[in-house]
Each structure stands twice: as C-alpha cells, then as structure tokens.
Amino acid sequence: MTISGLYIHIPFCPQLCPYCAFASVAGRDDLHGAYTEAICREIDGWGGRLGPVGTVFFGGGTPSQIDPALIGRMLDTAGRRLGLAPDAEITVEVNPGTVDREKFADLENLGCNRISIGAQSLRDPDLQRLGRIHSAADVESAFAAARQAGFANISLDLIADMPGVPAENWRFSIERALNLAPEHLSVYSLTVEEGTIFAARRRQGRLREVSEDEQARTLEWTASRMCRAGYEHYEVSNYARPGYRSQHNWGYWTGSSYLGVGVGAHSYVAGERFWNTRDLDGYLAAVAAGHSPREGSERITAALARSERLWLGLRTADGVQLAGDEAARLRNSGRFAEWSAAGYAGLADNRLYLTGAGFLLADALGLELERILEDSAYAAA
C-alpha cells in the first residue's frame, strides 16, 4: 500500500524546554545507537506491506542531537524496506545549538534535502524566556551553514504570542527572520500544555497567557507582512515561497496515509489511526522483544473522516472540495451568506475556501460549517 509520508521521531534533546509537551528526553544520549536499531526494526516490520514513500520527516525531540550516520542508517532502512520516491522530500528538524557546517554537509550527502530550523525567536531575551539553549546569532549561523552545505530548501519555526513579550519584539523577530530569506516559515502560537513547567507557572499566577484579541492582531500583522515579502499563506500557520510548501505536512492536512515510527509517533494507515507509547524505555523494550510499541488506536469512521477533511481543508489556501449536495446546502445557508459578506470565505466550483481574514477564525468557522451541513442534512431528511 502506498503511503505519502514516513515520520521518524527522535526524542533526544540537549535539555528540556519549559513549554515542551512533545515526546522528548534529555540526558539519555547513551541510547542513540539502541534507539536507531529499534527504529530500523520497526520500519523493517512494515517492509513489503507499505511503500513507497514520497516524504520522510525526522522530527522530535531534536534529530540534530544524534550523529548524522544514524540518520543515514534509518534512511537506508526506509529505502530498502519501504522504498523512497526518487524525488522524495527528506526533512530534518534541527536545533540551532546542535549543528555546524560539517553536520549539515553530512546530512546533505545522505540525501536529506530540506532543513527545518527550530529558531522560535530571533531575540535573545525571548529565547532565554523559552529556555532555549541557543542565541539568535546561533540561528543565523545555523542558517548560513545549512546554505553553505547546499540546502536550497530551509524552513524556520517561530513561536508567536509568548506571554509577557510585546508585539514589537515579535515584529523584530519576523524582520530578522525575513533577512535570512528562508523558503518556508512556520508560525505557531505558544500553547501552554498541562504537565509543562509553563503550566505550573500559570497555576502559580506567574504566567499570563496572551488574549485571543492580541493573538488575532499578531497573526493578522504577520500574514500581511509575510505576503508583502512574497510568501504564500498556504496554511493557517505556514508560509512558503512559491513551490516550497511542506509536502510532508501537506499530506497530513489533505488526509493522506502516513506511517510514524519511534516514541509517541502517530500513524494513519488503511483507515486506522494508531500511536506508539511515549515511554522511551517501554518503547525500546517492546521492540527488542519483538512486540509492537503501539499504545492505542482508533478506527476513522466515515463521519470522522469527513469532519477531519472539512476542518483540515479549511485551514489550507486550497480550501475543501465539497460534494454537490454539501455545496448546495451551504449556498442556501444564511450564515454562509454572512461569512461571504464579511469577506471570510468564498465558494467557487464547489470548493470552499477561507480568505486571510477567515484564517484568523478557521476553528470557529470549521465548527459552524459542520453544524450548517449537519442541520441542513437533517432538515432535508
């Protein structure tokens, strides 16, 4: 069975950031080799059943924390057991504090062709507030080193809406990021997740989250600035130069199948979503014993698949293709007429899409869209 993407989770980090809720560990660097072998074994188990894959994404955690030779070992296994498309997009996430020109050159020689730099900010005080190990200058050095090593497709991740950080700091970060001329930029609002140090600070009243109005203002300014700089706002949180959309993430947003391997990795194969344990030792023990590291699964019913298709599609610039009867119901809805009049959405050839203003309300509009389609389906029944 063809799958669009392979996600490989590398959980090792130089230290844990206080806002992080990912499956990540620090101080377990002695396990890099054993973990790589476990990943290869997991991929091996899918050989002959899935593939070939069009994209590979090494995410984390911090993939650049491990020796590139181990990345090469995993890629080689994926190529032999699943098969890689000749033009496969192969992305490696890197932390600017863990890379140099030699490491980038090694990754490039292995066939990796896209680098995603976890910059998060380009202001040192904000990076310190986030507990990052690197400076803004490290981000710029990492970017230059990746370019020198031959990477023509580089993405930067930035975190917007940091508590206590004024809007002008964010604008400064964006301008400094634009000076680097990345092909792609992801902008995520900081979410305070339970179980993190930031969540504990919030409980103690030491951290005040940014209001929804402030978030909307930041995202509006960012979208306008990025579009003026020639980037396409192709997903609510993502901007790309023409031809540089993230193919791997595009697969997630458009309902393609993908396999995730490693600690905490999620997969979507043959109408089933399943995920691995987040416990590193449990993962290693399960795979070594020849057992599945799977922790849970859910069958994606037709109703759930439809709901996800609407929600995720609405978050992309391409919008969502509606069935003829769905489009007719929407056209007859007074609420949709209001969205159109307010400039939030349009409907062309049964394709529903949000405008830049609509992107700011994507979640609320997705919820309403589902209600409109369901209510009118009941009324028609």
Residues 2-31 that bind ligand SF4 (CB under 6 A): 13, 16-17, 20, 22, 24
**Measured CA distances, 235 to 36, 130, 346, 370 (Å):** 32, 25, 16, 20
Return the closest-CA partner of residue 247 out of 18, 87, 68. 87
SS3 277: coil
Q: Interface with ligand SF4 includes 40 (CB under 6 A)? A: no
Looking at the Cβ atoms of 20 and 145, the one nearer to ligand SF4 is 20
Between residues 78 and 119, which has the closer beta carbon with respect to ligand SF4? 119
Q: How far is the CB of 346 from ligand SF4 (least distance, A)?
A: 37
Q: How far is the CB of 269 from ligand SF4 (least distance, A)?
A: 25
Contact pick of 5, 51, 54, 60 for ligand SF4 (by CB under 6 A): 60
> According to CB under 6 A, which residues from 112 to 131 bind ligand SF4?
118
Binding of residue 95 to ligand SF4 (CB under 6 A): yes
212 near 159, Cβ under 8 Å?
Answer: no
Q: What does the CA dihedral 148, 90, 94, 118 come to, rounded to 10 degrees?
A: 100
What type of residue is 42? E
Decide whether 28 or 171 has the Cβ nearer to ligand SF4.
28
Residue nearest to ligand SF4 (CB): 20
Nearer to ligand SF4, 20 or 219 (CB): 20
Q: Least separation, in Å, of the C-beta of 273 and ligand SF4?
A: 22
Half-sphere exposure of 366 (CA within 13 A, CB side): 19
User: How far apart are alpha carbons 63 and 264 in whole angstroms?
Assistant: 15
31 C-beta neighbours (distance < 10 Å), count = 16
Tokens linked to 74: 């995993």
Do the Cβ atoms of 118 and 95 come closer than 8 Å? yes
Burial status of residue 255 (CB atoms within 10 A of its CB: 0-12, 13-18, 19 or more): middle
CB of 278 to ligand SF4, least distance (A): 12
In the complex with ligand SF4, which residue's Cβ is closer, 61 or 182? 61
Q: CA angle 365-217-165, nearest 5°?
A: 125
Nearer to ligand SF4, 17 or 322 (CB): 17
Which of helix, strand or coil describes residue 239? strand
In whole angstroms, the minimum distance from the beta carbon of 74 to ligand SF4 comes to: 18
* Selected binder of ligand SF4 within 62, 153, 186, 249 (CB under 6 A): 62
Among 5, 51, 61, 63, binds ligand SF4 (CB under 6 A): 61
For the chain, the straight-line distance linking the first and the last C-alpha, in angstroms and rounded, comes to 37
Rounded to a whole number of angstroms, the minimum distance from the CB of residue 352 to ligand SF4 is 34
Q: How many residues bind ligand SF4 (CB under 6 A)?
A: 11
Whole-angstrom distance, CA of residue 272 vs CA of residue 183: 33
Helix (H) or strand (E) run with residue 110 in it: none
118 or 251: CB nearest ligand SF4: 118
- For ligand SF4, the closer CB: 265 or 314: 265
Residues interacting with ligand SF4, by CB under 6 A? Answer: 13, 16-17, 20, 22, 24, 60-62, 95, 118
